[in-house]
Amino acid sequence: MTDQNSDRATSEALDEASFQIADLEDEIRADRLLGELLRDFLQYRITRHDDDAEDAGRLARGADYFLREFIIGDRRENIYRIPAERIRQFAGNWYIVRNLEPNPVELGDILDGVAAFYAWLESDNRCSSQLSGSIARACGDRDFYRERIDSFWDIEGDGYSRWAAACPLPTD
């Protein structure tokens, strides 16, 4: 990619409207642009935040999983306009039922990445401190998410409906 094309892609990735998703073409574009943002985030963590490559990569992978799989792929929402409640729905329901062995350590890595990504967006004036702060608070509710994972493994009989209702996903 030439520098001009890279600059255009980065500029487009900064544009909130570029993350509006109405159809498959929009979803593909948003996914591509998110890749650009995540590369920038990774470089920021290494060069400006002094993370080693492993720690920076762990954070970027966590943000990537949440944003690509849940926000863009499943919810088809704009990454700049998500309510903090999406964190709770992801960590307290979606992640648990979509993984073979959901566990608090892996989930913690994902949530660390999401919080760090939105803090980076805020530091670069790409999102509000209100959004970043509410996401950080939701990412920090680790006891709740640990309890949700434990109670998922304890489901018996027809208890799934009750479990899911305690932290429901939005209906389309």
- pLDDT tens for residues 31-47? 999 999 999 999 999 99
Q: Is residue 42 part of a domain?
A: yes
Nearest to 35 by CA among 48, 52, 17, 18: 18
Q: Is 156 left (phi over 0), alpha (psi -120 to 50) or beta?
A: beta
Residue 30: what are its φ and ψ, rounded to 5°?
-60, -40
Q: What is the mean pLDDT of residues 66-81?
A: 96
Between 152 and 2, the higher pLDDT residue = 152
- Written as six digits, the tokens of 74 are 């499943």
| pLDDT of the residue at 14 | 65
Q: Looking at the domain assignment, is residue 83 inside a domain?
A: yes
Residue 134 located in a structural domain: yes
**Residue at 45 is within a domain:** yes
What are 109-138's pLDDT values in tens digits? 999 999 999 999 999 888 999 999 999 999
- Domain hosting 132: range is 18-166
Q: pLDDT per residue over 77-115, tens digit each? A: 999 999 999 999 999 999 999 999 999 999 999 999 999
The count of structural domains within the chain is 1
